[in-house]
Amino acid sequence: MTRYIPLILSGVLLNAFAQVLLKKGMLGIGYFEIQFQNFFPIIKKVATNLHVLLGLSFYVISVTIWLLVLARVEVSYAYPFLSVGYVVVTLMGYFIFQESLPWMRVIAVAVIILGVILLSRS
Burial of 68 (0-12, 13-18, 19+ CB in 10 A): middle
Per-residue pLDDT, 57: 98
**What is the band of 65 on the pLDDT scale with cuts at 50, 70, 90?**
very high
Instruction: For the chain, state the CA radius of gyration.
Output: 17
Mean pLDDT, all residues of the chain: 93
pLDDT-derived band at 32 (thresholds 50, 70, 90) equals confident
Q: Does the predicted model carry a pTM greater than 0.95?
A: no
Average pLDDT rounded to a whole number, residues 63-76: 96
Distance CA 109, CA 115 (A): 10
Q: What pLDDT shows up at residue 52? A: 97
**Of the candidate ranges 10-24, 34-48, 72-86, the one whose mean pLDDT is the lowest:** 34-48
DSSP secondary structure code for residue 79 in this structure: G
Q: Return the SS3 of 121.
A: coil
More confident: 112 or 36: 112
- Chain length of the chain: 122
Share of the chain above pLDDT 70, in %: 100
